Amino acid sequence: MTNDVRTLEWTGDGLRLLDQTALPGRVEYVVARDVGTLVDAIRRLAVRGAPALGVAGAFGVAIAVREAALEGWDDDLRDAAIAAVREARPTAVNLAAGVDRVLPFVAKGADAVAAEAQAMLEEDVRGNRAIGAFGADWILGRLGDRPLRVLTHCNAGALATAGWGTALGVVRELHGRGRVELVYADETRPLLQGARLTAWELDRAAIPCAVQADAAAPSTILRGLVDVAVIGADRIAANGDTANKIGSVGVALACRAAGVPLVVAAPWSTVDLALPDGDGIPIEERPAGEVLSWGGARTAPAGVGAYNPAFDVTPARLVTALVTETGVLEVSAGSTPGRLRG
């Protein structure tokens, strides 16, 4: 199976991004040739998803180095621009890690930085394929070689990565083996990454999919309609605590109550071994308007405030398996990233 989604592409003088805010209605691109455009694209989620943010961050450094040369910035201004990219969103560790990875190339110029970012992009696609294969092997080994009903939350697909996907990479691999009966795609309030993006990807890949309200997910799981839940991650602590899109904890609790495996699919670049557990994961709070309004019209009474955390942290004890590009860790059974790499 191939994937024709080009989430990010270096054009030689900028980063071309598939504008995910316009999907599924319109396929549009933004080209970021300056840091301001890239930071804006990251903040408004034109590019999003932890691994895609990592690659965007790395190319963002190339953009900053190029812009500094064109505009005659000194090193301080250039470094401030790089810091703005690094800090554009806080939760996905990949963004800062992607920036940090290419910093040693800054002195060699924008082309050298872009070449390293391109290597990251290609590694991410290869890693996604490996995650897909390891994940499908583990799931079929555990549940039996049969068509499965899979639940996923948010979008951890080609759009959230440099291509193919992590959680959806596992789904694509299962589908390639004829082992997907149906994917429940949680709609993912308030920005609808599931309804808009996951459903778009699954539809293009002809994988059967039902979009459901986030609030339906625990009941769907408890009613026995789900064989396995597969989600992505934005940051995973050494003990396996996993930050992912808000609502993931509800999915995890229902899975545990129903005896359904919860599989987290993520590359090692999403693991933050500097954090012993999830308490230290910074959780992004997004603008109130995302939950107080709908389609530009206010839905909540005037004067009412909002609490809008974009992510939650699923405790390691609820994570059955973590699938990375190097294999599977059975986290709730005690096999944690910190133990393996520590």
Residues of each annotated binding site: 48-50, 89, 193, 244-245
| Spatial separation of the C-alpha atoms in residues 161 and 246, rounded to whole Å | 19
Task: Specify the residue, 3 or 244, whose C-beta has the smaller distance to ligand MRU.
Answer: 244
Q: Residues 242-261 vs ligand MRU: string with x where CB under 6 A?
A: --xx----------------
Query: Sign of the C-alpha dihedral, residues 332, 334, 340, 342?
Result: positive
| Spatial separation of the C-alpha atoms in residues 75 and 61, rounded to whole Å | 13
How many chain residues bind ligand MRU (CB under 6 A)? Answer: 18
Candidates 124, 186, 227, 234; catalytic one: 234
Encoded tokens for 149: 């009903």
| Spatial separation of the C-alpha atoms in residues 252 and 274, rounded to whole Å | 24
* Half-sphere exposure in the Cβ direction for 154 (13 Å, CA): 30
Q: Residues 54-93 vs ligand MRU: string with x where CB under 6 A?
A: --------------------------------------x-
> Binding site for substrate: which residues?
48-50, 89, 193, 244-245
Pick the stretch among 22-30, 32-40, 159-167, 318-326 that binds ligand MRU (CB under 6 A).
Answer: 159-167
**Contacts to ligand MRU from residues 217-236, by CB under 6 A:** 232-234
Amino acid at 59: F
Element (H, E) at 328: strand 327-329
Per the CB < 8 A criterion, the answer to whether 185 and 156 are in contact is no
Is residue 194 involved in binding ligand MRU (CB under 6 A)? no
Closest CA to 330 of 130, 142, 180: 142
Q: Exactly one of 229, 251, 310, 322 binds ligand MRU (CB under 6 A); which one?
A: 310
- 234 has catalytic annotation: yes
Is residue 156 involved in binding ligand MRU (CB under 6 A)? yes
The backbone torsions φ and ψ at residue 63, rounded to the nearest 5 degrees and listed phi first, read -65, -45
CB of 92 to ligand MRU, least distance (A): 6
Binding site for ligand MRU (CB under 6 A): 45, 48-51, 92, 154, 156, 160-161, 166, 193, 232-234, 244-245, 310
Active site residues: 234
